[in-house]
Amino acid sequence: MAFSEFRPLDEKSLIEYIKATPSLSSKIGDKCDDLTIKEVGDGNLNFVYIVIGSSGSFVIKQAIPYVRCIGESWPMTKERAYFEALALKEHGQLCPDHVPEVYHFDRTMSLIGMRYLEPPHIILRKGLVAGVEYPLLAEHMSEYMAKTLFFTSLLYRTTSEHKRAVAEFCGNVELCRLTEQVVFSDPYKVSQYNRWTSPYLDHDAEAVREDNILKLEVAELKSKFCERAQALIHGDLHTGSVMVTPNSTQVIDPEFAFYGPMGFDIGAFLGNLILAFFAQDGHTDEGNDRKTYKEWILRTIEETWTLFHKKFTALWHQHKDGSGEAYLPEIYNKPELQQLIQEKYMKDLFHDSLGFGAAKMIRRIVGVAHVEDFESIKDASKRAACERQALELAKTLLKERRKFQAITEVISAIRKLQS
């Protein structure tokens, strides 16, 4: 067999690979002669091929042993493909409506074959930059987060099941270390990888590096990220990891998946919606001031948390006498005690989400990898003005997250910065 050891595939060798792999060739009716193959990996790490035949289609994603956007000077384990496939399968079982199906995984080749999300699916971030409303986004994302987080936590599982699952994902250490570096370390020190809209934000970037209170809070979040194996999280749940149409929402790219704090996923998603909000003023034109669209984003932020809270607590209630070992029914046996426990749990989760979301926002403004929401604003002074507002909010959320009691208060804080 020609593929007994790792090698990066190109379009020609990919066709040979498909021919030799029944689980893939069967998806295109074993017709390999009329295939259209297009490499679309615009991410930081991998090669992604769309394969379309007359009788079917799929996507091939291959991990290579370095960071694609930096080059071979930044090596990166290709084992990440294993954890991505594992997480896609696990999350796909829990929430099949919002996770693309995996058809094939090859550990030697670090390669995943999965459902092709055909047009008009686009990356959510691109839709947000273009000003497109997605009426079901909050409904779908709250569903995805509630199910994947609840069912992989101790609210549903026994401690033995949980420990086994945690151990399996502990191997994804390199991608966790990458997050530790780019989210919790680099923005707070001088680092060769950091960049920002200079010279406009020079002072703002320096202020982040000199802010002691901010650093104390970031240290606390970092220790939670490293130490708290709460649930199987996606690990990189920003608006670039979600593909959408007006009535479909699909979560992709969970290669950073591991057992970590739930708030890291929730915060990543909400924080990226907040970035999209602050970027809107840079995308206005004669015909569109984007005011209505900004209101839609704020509504979506509020509804995502509100619906998540509702769905997560409903699952908890439904399974409160199940095998979950976080709160044993024979101890937490009174309704008022159950309510106290649940209120405290959800309040802590809310504060975690705000903290992690804020940290993700900060790294996107003064850290290594930026977001298209801001980057596509051509005028640098305009872009910096948008970024500065987002940065101000992020610092407030991170330092004062425990003061916020409801998502509506977060929305008010966002509005206040814009007034």
Q: What are the C-alpha distances in Å from 16 to residues 58, 85, 136, 225?
A: 15, 22, 40, 42
Other residues' Cβ atoms within 10 Å of the Cβ of residue 71: 8
Residue 73's pLDDT is: 87
**3 phi, psi to nearest 5 deg:** -115, 45
Helices (H) and strands (E) counted in the chain, each on its own, are 15, 12
190 close to 209: Cβ distance less than 8 angstroms: yes
| Residue recorded with tokens 């971030």 | 125
Distance separating alpha carbons of residues 258 and 175, to the nearest angstrom: 9
Enter the tokens of residue 304: 């995502």
Kindly report whether the peptide bond that precedes residue 199 is cis, defined as omega within 30 degrees of 0. yes
Where b means 16+ CB within 10 Å and e means fewer, 269-291 reads bbbbbbbbbbbbbbbeeeeeebe
Residue 1's pLDDT is: 53
Residue 367's pLDDT is: 98
DSSP 8-class letter at 193: T
Other residues' Cβ atoms within 10 Å of the Cβ of residue 347: 14
Distance separating alpha carbons of residues 1 and 338, to the nearest angstrom: 58
Helix locations, 228-286, DSSP H:
262-279
**379 phi, psi to nearest 5 deg:** -75, 110
Which pTM was predicted? 0.97
Residuewise pLDDT in 10s, the chain (419 residues): 568 999 999 999 999 999 999 999 999 999 998 999 999 987 667 999 999 999 999 999 999 998 877 788 888 999 999 999 999 999 999 999 999 999 999 999 999 999 999 999 999 999 999 999 999 999 999 999 999 999 999 999 999 999 999 999 999 999 999 999 999 999 999 999 999 999 999 999 999 999 999 999 999 999 999 999 999 999 999 999 999 999 999 999 999 999 999 999 999 999 999 999 999 999 999 999 999 999 999 999 999 999 999 999 999 999 999 999 999 999 999 999 999 999 999 999 999 999 999 999 999 999 999 999 999 999 999 999 999 999 999 999 999 999 999 999 999 999 999 97
CA geometry: angle 8, 243, 305, nearest 5 deg: 130
DSSP 8-class letter at 205: H
Enter the tokens of residue 249: 């929402």
Q: If we measure between CA atoms, which residue out of 358, 369, 352, 378 comes closest to residue 274?
A: 358
Is the four-CA dihedral 87, 89, 95, 98 of positive or negative sign?
Answer: positive
Give 188's contacts (C-beta < 8 A, 6+ positions apart): 208, 209, 214, 215, 218
CA geometry: angle 151, 153, 157, nearest 5 deg: 75
DSSP 8-class letter at 292: H
Distance separating alpha carbons of residues 305 and 393, to the nearest angstrom: 18
| Burial class of residue 128, CB neighbours in 10 A (0-12, 13-18, 19+) | buried
Distance separating alpha carbons of residues 180 and 352, to the nearest angstrom: 16
Packing angle between helix 380-400 and helix 202-210, nearest 10 degrees?
Answer: 20
